[in-house]
Amino acid sequence: MKKLLRPFDFIAGQTAVISGIIFAILGGVLAHYLSIHFNGLFNLKYIQPQTFPFSQIAESVFVVLVLATIEFLIVRLFFKRPTRWIDYFGTSLLARIPIYIMAGLFPAFGLSEEYFVNMLNELSTNGQIPDTSNLLIFSLISLPLLVYSVYLYYHAFAVSGGIKGAKAVISFIAAIILSEIIIYLTFPALFYV
């Protein structure tokens, strides 16, 4: 149980990077076949603009590269702690595993690009909200996975930076916000063909 709650006390560095890249590849291939994209740290979306084949693997690595770099810079510049960028990168890659599990749950609930397009069309045409019970159930099941992913990102940051308490929480929140802004501004230029 301790390994689920504090996994980065047990894995870091090269082992985390190699394991994280393996999961990014598996999650990216799954997302490719489901037409889901990872255009943010916590995002699972169907994207209309064309992207290159298997871009989902690069998307996962890109969002983690941004987060790991921001976290590394925050700890180095504001806490003046000796730290290794590879630890942020590897542990953050592993913190995405619950996001990949969420992507794998889409088909089990009948969620597809066609489902969402039909739902939006019905809403805009009839002005009525269509039956979204399967989306609601998916959301309720996915919420613990999303919370766990946020926790894992935080744990990765705190352990890699060797910081804790209020300073760690505030720094983590700042890193997430700054990372999401950078990802939002750069993602289209990098991934839309």
| Model pLDDT, residue 126 | 83
- Cβ pair 31, 99 in contact under 8 A: no
Q: What is the pTM of this model?
A: 0.91
Q: Name every residue whose Cβ is closer than 8 Å to that of residue 114 and which is 6 or more positions away in sequence.
A: none
Phi, psi of 45 (to 5 degrees): -140, 155
Determine the pLDDT at residue 114: 86
Model pLDDT, residue 49? 67
Query: Within 13 Å of residue 102, how many CA atoms lie on the same side as its CB?
Result: 26
Going 16 to 37 to 55 to 107, the CA torsion angle's sign is positive
pLDDT means per 10 residues in the chain (193 residues)? Answer: 86 92 95 90 81 89 97 95 94 96 93 85 81 90 96 96 95 98 93 76
pLDDT at 130: 78
Q: What pLDDT score was predicted for residue 185?
A: 95
As given in the structure block, the two tokens for residue 94 are 């592993």
Q: Give, in order, the Cα–Cα distances in Å from 100 to each of 43, 115, 185.
A: 11, 20, 23
Q: Which amino acid is at 17?
A: V
